[in-house]
Amino acid sequence: MGSLFRSEEMTLCQLFLQSEAAYACVSELGELGLVQFRDLNPDVNVFQRKFVNEVRRCDEMERKLRYLEKEIKKDGIPMLDTGESPEAPQPREMIDLEATFEKLENELREVNQNAEALKRNFLELTELKHILRKTQVFFDETVPTVSYNTSSSTATFKSRWRYGRRQMADNQNEDEQAQLLGEEAGVRASQPGQNLKLGFVAGVILRERLAAFERMLWRACRGNVFLRQAMIESPLEDPSNGDQVYKSVFIIFFQGDQLKTRVKKICEGFRATLYPCPEAPADRREMAMGVMTRIEDLNTVLGQTQDHRHRVLVAAAKNLKIVRKIKAIYHTLNLFNLDVTQKCLIAECWVPVLDIETIQLALRRGTERSGSSVPPILNRMQTFENPPTYNRTNKFTKAFQALIDAYGVASYREMNPAPYTIITFPFLFAVMFGDLGHGTLMALFGLWMIRKEKGLAAQKTTNEIWNIFFGGRYIIFLMGVFSMYTGLIYNDIFSKSLNIFGSHWHVNYNKTTVLNNKHLQLNPSTVDYEGEPYPFGMDPIWQVATANKIIFQNSYKMKISIILGVIHMIFGVSLSLHNHTYFKNRNAVLYEFIPQLVFLVMMFFYLALLMFIKWNRYAATNSPPYSAGCAPSILITFIDMVLGNTPKTPLEGCESYMYAGQSLFQSLFRFIALCCIPVMLLGKPLKIIQARRQANRQNLTGATSDAEVGMTNGTAGGGAGHGGGGDNHEEEELSEICIHQGIHTIEFVLGSVSHTASYLRLWALSLAHAQLAEVLWNMVLSIGLRQEGWTGGIMLTIVFAFWAILTIGILVLMEGLSAFLHTLRLHWVEFQSKFYKGTGYAFQPFAFDQIIENGGTPAVEGAE
């Protein structure tokens, strides 16, 4: 048998490890990931275990590494995930590691501080640079105005002299401005010795504060200052939090010391930074040069600091995995027992039998690495405990196994439905989702995920919905492919049909017939029908015949739902035979499997058979007993069969039975099926009672040991009746068995009816899907197709977009999801209830890969 059909055979092993070699051995086993350790000191507090100290040190290291990681993420350095994971270091290297991390952390903090200072410096210099550049413009434009103003102000003076107060209504603002600047400059120009000097300050302020700042200045200085501002176009980085901020350069001209202090205070209040700005253009130029060179220098320094930081961080990123490994190893070592002599650690673990060799090899490697001379000992133990269930899956089968495990992990060595589900799941899905177009879309999506598998898997996202889709990529692909096939059979592509082989129905009407009748129904008994069906799938004419398409397809789809359902259930029951024979449960084969199978075949497979008989026997071309009008309803026939009714008298010339002797066969089948019920109900309990009586008799007479009888008794009957253990105990057990069996029987008999009906969901969903697709076509896309001319083109584009969105959103995604869930139910309830217990627990090996992926939380509670 293949690997996936049953879970792996497991065995409990005892492991004796030399204290020195234990660490290296566990490390090797962690790389291997095939061993599940059991907690041997469950009653010992977590804080009292042997290696608590080491775990704590690892925690401390992890904290430091987390800090480093945060810094790495902040810098946007890609953490090189090469896929390879370095081996866990020796325990003695832990001190070195600790020291390294300590150093790294300190270094990083220092680097960060330095970098911040440097950045602040850099910001100041850039601001100064901008000030110098912008103010240059101000000065440049003021110089000519100054000269202009000089002349104009002298002109005004002159005019004032001349015209007295005639021009009082002069523009106030212009006048003021002219006075503020011009007069002073004029005065300065005319009287250089005077100390009435126009002072100015220059600085940088956040842009959003500028308006308020300006207003404040105006009010506080009563309009006696002159402010010019210019925006700095490029955003500057705030060194304290790394935000990008926009700032503006301003320059304020004022007169006198009083105003100067006032202006400075306002600047302080608005957190504007002031910079010295020399007055003479030559000085400014010189300063600008100096600033530029300093910026250049700082840039190189900053670059070097960044590089250094980068190097430090990259070095740290590698170590993250190592520490997690060390921690996991110590957690595992904490599960071990100490030998009396304190020289040896004892572990108990579940191991797949097939892998014992590999594990031995790994242990030997570990011993060699640690330099210990005493080899570790791996002992197989006998146990009555239930071993864990371990299914070896690959990337393809994993998703299907997950579907099964979501219902319940298989009992140990039970038949695993997963390999059958690989095909039956997409198939039953496709019966409901049968549409070539939608199936293609789904298959292409699945194929894309499979093709880009590595790239998509590498970029780990936390987006849950995407992860679900990506995890099920093979399921999606197969569902899509099967939907394409069923879509071809249904001859349904976006609710239209493909006429590949040429329809086998023909229109043979003449002009007048066509024009005089609103509806015409083709007659299958005439030349309208070729006499043999369309070779592959549904005849395309049915998709066209909107008047009675649904009537025809309903009868077809209902029938296939029942046929597929009955076969699926019989398949499930047959799988239970494999379980019974494997567990050598002869009673279950005789009194469970056989009656169940007979019951299903006699009632429900016969129902499916009737459908084939009806398809085969009744035709429109036949003469009365088997003509179209005489065809009986299968549902009524089946109900009559179950209830034992005689069928109603048929129409003239028809017969009430489909074949000779049908009545006899049906009552025979009904009788056999009914006989199966008491066999299912009583067979097993009676057999157990018999076995126990025999055991008791042997007990009284024979010298066989109690224990042995108890053992055989236990394995045969499922209960544990130790010889002479008292009748009371046995009676109790027996009543339990009887009740259990009763429930099981009722469940099966009633279940087979309801489960068969449940498969009708295949028909219902398929009908709903086809109808939705048709409605979408008629209501949306056909509107666009009906328009003509160039407006029609535009209209069609818009309508098509709308139609495409609805197709993907509703028909593929939502309908797909609903069909998926119904398929899941059909598998979990209708199929698996026939053979699957699912009461096991999963094998959770100690594996580094998983621990690192889960973010370093080792599964300590694995054994529980």
Partner 1 sequence: MVSPWLAPIIITAIWGFIGIICPFFARGPNKGVTQCCLMLVASTCWLFWLCCYMTQMNPLIGPKLTRNEILIIAREWGNPIKDQIDITYY
Closest Cα to residue 413, out of 384, 390, 383? 390
Q: How many residues does the chain have?
A: 864
- C-beta pairs of 742-746 under 8 Å, 24+ apart in sequence: 742/681, 744/592, 744/680, 745/677, 745/680, 745/681
Which lies closer to partner 1 via its Cβ, residue 113 or residue 616? 616
Which lies closer to partner 1 via its Cβ, residue 448 or residue 556? 556
Closest Cα to residue 541, out of 499, 577, 573? 499
One DSSP character per residue, 558-624 reads HHHHHHHHHHHHHHHHHHHHHHHHHTT-HHHIIIIIHHHHHHHIIIIIHHHHHHHHHHHH--TTS-G
Single-letter residue type at 471: G
Which lies closer to partner 1 via its Cβ, residue 367 or residue 397? 397
Q: Provide, rounded to whole angstroms, the least separation between the CB of residue 542 and partner 1.
A: 6
Q: Provide, rounded to whole angstroms, the least separation between the CB of residue 85 and partner 1.
A: 25
| CA 149/CA 147 separation, integer angstroms | 5
Q: Provide, rounded to whole angstroms, the least separation between the CB of residue 393 and partner 1.
A: 10
| CA 650/CA 592 separation, integer angstroms | 40
| CA 779/CA 775 separation, integer angstroms | 6
| CA 510/CA 503 separation, integer angstroms | 19
| CA 492/CA 436 separation, integer angstroms | 6
| CA 563/CA 565 separation, integer angstroms | 5
Q: How far is CA 44 from CA 335, 349, 359, 448, 749, in A?
A: 10, 19, 28, 51, 51
CB 266, CB 213: distance < 8 Å? yes
DSSP symbol at 230 = E
| CA 174/CA 154 separation, integer angstroms | 15
Q: How many CA atoms lie within 13 A of 671 on its CB side?
A: 6
Single-letter residue type at 292: M
Which lies closer to partner 1 via its Cβ, residue 576 or residue 713? 576
Contacts of 205 (CB under 8 A, 6+ apart): 213, 247, 248, 250, 267, 270, 271, 272, 273
Q: Provide, rounded to whole angstroms, the least separation between the CB of residue 620 and partner 1.
A: 6
CB 13, CB 346: distance < 8 Å? no
| CA 114/CA 112 separation, integer angstroms | 5
Residue ranges of the alpha helices (H) in 38-197? 52-75, 93-163, 172-177, 184-190
Q: Provide, rounded to whole angstroms, the least separation between the CB of residue 489 and partner 1.
A: 5
Q: Provide, rounded to whole angstroms, the least separation between the CB of residue 94 and partner 1.
A: 39
Which lies closer to partner 1 via its Cβ, residue 270 or residue 485? 485
Q: Provide, rounded to whole angstroms, the least separation between the CB of residue 419 and partner 1.
A: 5
Q: Provide, rounded to whole angstroms, the least separation between the CB of residue 517 and partner 1.
A: 7
| CA 591/CA 675 separation, integer angstroms | 12
Which lies closer to partner 1 via its Cβ, residue 218 or residue 501? 501
Q: Provide, rounded to whole angstroms, the least separation between the CB of residue 541 and partner 1.
A: 5
Which lies closer to partner 1 via its Cβ, residue 521 or residue 667? 521
| CA 329/CA 24 separation, integer angstroms | 9
Which lies closer to partner 1 via its Cβ, residue 88 or residue 399? 399
Q: Provide, rounded to whole angstroms, the least separation between the CB of residue 508 and partner 1.
A: 8
Q: Provide, rounded to whole angstroms, the least separation between the CB of residue 2 and partner 1.
A: 2
Burial of 95 (C-beta count, 10 Å sphere; 0-12/13-18/19+): exposed
Q: Residue 247 is inside which H or E element, if any?
A: strand 247-255
Q: Which two tokens stand for residue 635?
A: 């549902």
Which lies closer to partner 1 via its Cβ, residue 224 or residue 637? 637
Which lies closer to partner 1 via its Cβ, residue 560 or residue 852? 560
| CA 494/CA 224 separation, integer angstroms | 79
Which lies closer to partner 1 via its Cβ, residue 167 or residue 358? 358
Which lies closer to partner 1 via its Cβ, residue 288 or residue 783? 783
Which lies closer to partner 1 via its Cβ, residue 242 or residue 531? 531
Q: Provide, rounded to whole angstroms, the least separation between the CB of residue 486 and partner 1.
A: 7
Q: Provide, rounded to whole angstroms, the least separation between the CB of residue 3 and partner 1.
A: 7
Q: Provide, rounded to whole angstroms, the least separation between the CB of residue 659 and partner 1.
A: 15
Q: Provide, rounded to whole angstroms, the least separation between the CB of residue 303 and partner 1.
A: 53
| CA 526/CA 6 separation, integer angstroms | 57
Which lies closer to partner 1 via its Cβ, residue 181 or residue 601? 601
Which lies closer to partner 1 via its Cβ, residue 411 or residue 416? 416
The residues with which 228 forms a beta bridge, in sequence order, are: 251
Q: What is the 3-state secondary structure (H, E, C) of 429-447?
A: HHHHCCCHHHHHHHHHHHH
